[in-house]
Chain A
Amino acid sequence: MAGELEFERPIVELRAKIEELRRFTSESGVDLSDEIQKLEARLEELTESIYANLTPWQRVQLARQPGRPTTLDYIRGICEEFVELHGDRNFRDDPAVVGGIGLVDGRPITLIGTQKGKDTKDNIHRNFGMAHPEGYRKALRLMKQAEKFGRPVALFIDTAGAYPGASGEERGQSEAIARNLMEMAGLRVPTVCFVTGEGGSGGALGLGVTDRIYVLEYAWYSVIAPESAAAILWRDSAQAPRAAETMRITAPDLVALGIADELIREPRGGAQKDPAAMIRTVRGKLVSALEELSALSVDERLARRYDKYRKMGVFVEA
């Protein structure tokens, strides 16, 4: 399969060797089934141990694997029916953010997220999933609409960050993100976000102030991308693996630091190995979270959301 990463090479090589033995068996008639069985057991062991001992940088690489489900894949897999809605009503429709309304088990829901492309052409159209201010404003428009009609909101985050360009600055990238943080803190309907791949700083947080924060097993979420951190810290973006370690950006770190409510297991080797299974898992988590959250009163939910963010941070008080 294409897109294997460097650290996955031993698995690929062993699998190729087993294939070769099988071919030899069928061609020559020599029975090597014992040998093959042993190698298959070793392959299982090797695969297990590689994915059980991933370094933070290896997780970052997995989070960026093409072939992982995108936001639209999740949305289409989660909803029986879905209508995509476009535009911020101010400037334009930002293709880096998608959203709309749909039905999950016959129940209404609004779904929004950053959208990466499936190939180079699509990625250019989607600006590699990096939103402009109008993307955040479209998301806010859809969230306010959800609030008006009393339906919950699911958010999917997979972005390297908000687009750092001149056009974004002119139209108030800061204001757009800031406004979302404030408005999402007070949104009266249940809200859940999933960090499905990359959680790049303010660009991710701009869709991430919710009742629940779920992080996929190989996703990362950080105040700064590891490459940028390395460039600042050691003046060398090639030190990104070291920065990934230092910054504590992996899913287990995010749970340990009290940011993520829960880590969602991925298929072994990552969501791209079995997108359908991944989407089913996320759908199940979304439905159960919304059932729990919608059982609370609005005031109770808002109070809990406030406390959740209010408690984040570690400091010393003399």
Chain B
Amino acid sequence: MLKDLFQKKRQYATLGAPETAPARVSAARSEKTDQIPQGLVNKCQTCGALLIAKELQKHLYTCPNCDYHFPLDAPTRIQVTLDEGAFFEYDAGLTSADPLPFPGYADKLRRAQQASGLREAVVTGEGTLDGHPVVIGVMDSRFIMGSMGSAVGEKIARAMERAAEKRYPLILFTASGGARMQEGILSLMQMAKTSAALRRLSDAGVLFVSVITHPTTGGVSASFASLGDIILAEPGALFGFAGRRVIEQTIRQKLPDDFQTAEFNLKHGMVDKVVHRKELRPTLSLILRVHSGRGWADGR
């Protein structure tokens, strides 16, 4: 099934990109931070293997050598998750304002839009996964670290409301540094807004699967990311409330290397399952099948 995904060039539905063409950077980026693979050859930041683009794509942007998971941008994530050509985007025209205003924020937004080709740090919409209709949201860490301001909160809350209305399961892929500082308290309140919308989705009996990808921290971690009926995480993904440096300063101790990783969270009971990217689509498909299943007497 995975093989089929890449046999032909996939059609990709509307993504509401700004007029400016995304500025592609072809040279290899710094290895200090996790970069979305670009260009012809990428170096695995963990084992150092040189990987050509075609091969990376075949392995869903994981290292065939050491299983390191490169971050995915939102369009690619949607492409490798949903059935071909099935995506219909919600609220493509919804973008951030500068309500405080915050020095440099308007420029920062413009640069993020140009560099990512997106209008905001989350793409939401609906589609099918192995034929199951779903509402999906994917955060994109390229866009101001995937941070949640009013626009991100609004898009996610609307996606939740549509999922409740249509009774489609909701799948959210998180990747975020947390609340977006540049919108002050309004960003913080997006945590409450999205969690309130989840309360309604949950009351409606609709499934919500949260998929934690690298990195998911702060205000996103402390709101919807942690509220999935089922929480899956990609191997090695950072998932936690406070940043490592802040914690090390607080407790005056070095933290173990695996601190706040997906595996650490699995061990502490905070996620249901750590799933290799190649297994994500089949795993989600099985979860959807279980939740669409009937067969037992329904005493309600």
Smallest beta-carbon distance A51→chain B, Å: 23
B96 close to A316 (CB less than 8 A): yes
Complex alpha-carbon distance, A179 and B154, angstroms: 20
Smallest beta-carbon distance A136→chain B, Å: 10
The answer to whether the Cβ of B221 comes within 8 Å of any Cβ in the partner chain is yes
Q: Which residues of B have CB within 8 Å of A310?
A: 157, 193, 196-197
Q: Mark B127-165, 1 if CB is under 8 A from A, else 0.
A: 000000000000000000000011101100100000000
The answer to whether the Cβ of A143 comes within 8 Å of any Cβ in the partner chain is no
B185 close to A254 (CB less than 8 A): yes
Q: Mark B195-207, 1 if CB is under 8 A from A, else 0.
A: 1111110110000
Q: Which residues of A have CB within 8 Å of B197?
A: 310
Q: Which residues of A have CB within 8 Å of B179?
A: 201-202, 223-224
Q: Which residues of A have CB within 8 Å of B53?
A: none
Which of A168, A178, A253, A312 is close to B223, meaning CB atoms less than 8 Å apart?
A: A178
B186 close to A169 (CB less than 8 A): no
The interface-forming segment of B37-45, B65-73, B244-252 is B244-252
Q: Which residues of A have CB within 8 Å of B285?
A: none
Complex alpha-carbon distance, A253 and B94, angstroms: 25
Complex alpha-carbon distance, A208 and B192, angstroms: 9
Complex alpha-carbon distance, A208 and B198, angstroms: 17
Interface size, B (range): 35 or more
Interface size, A (range): 35 or more
Q: Mark A296-313, 1 if CB is under 8 A from B, else 0.
A: 000000000110011011
Q: Which residues of B have CB within 8 Å of A72?
A: none
Residue pairs across A and B with CB atoms within 8 Å: the count is 190
Complex alpha-carbon distance, A170 and B99, angstroms: 36
| A210-254 residues at the B interface, CB under 8 angstroms | 221-224, 229, 232-233, 246-249, 253-254
Smallest beta-carbon distance A79→chain B, Å: 28
Complex alpha-carbon distance, A253 and B183, angstroms: 13
A170 close to B268 (CB less than 8 A): yes
The 9 closest A-B CB pairs, nearest first, are: A313-B150, A318-B93, A164-B242, A181-B195, A185-B196, A314-B99, A178-B226, A312-B189, A173-B241
Q: Could you name 27 residue pairs across A and B whose Cβ atoms are closer than 8 Å?
A: A163-B250, A164-B247, A165-B242, A172-B226, A173-B222, A173-B240, A174-B226, A174-B240, A177-B223, A178-B225, A179-B227, A182-B199, A185-B196, A186-B196, A205-B189, A208-B192, A247-B185, A257-B99, A306-B196, A312-B186, A313-B186, A314-B97, A315-B95, A315-B96, A315-B97, A317-B94, A318-B94
Write the residues of chain B forming the contact surface with A, with a CB cutoff of 8 angstroms. Answer: 91, 93-97, 99-100, 102-103, 149-151, 153-154, 157, 179, 181, 183-193, 195-200, 202-203, 218-219, 221-227, 239-243, 246-247, 250-251, 253, 255, 259-260, 268-270
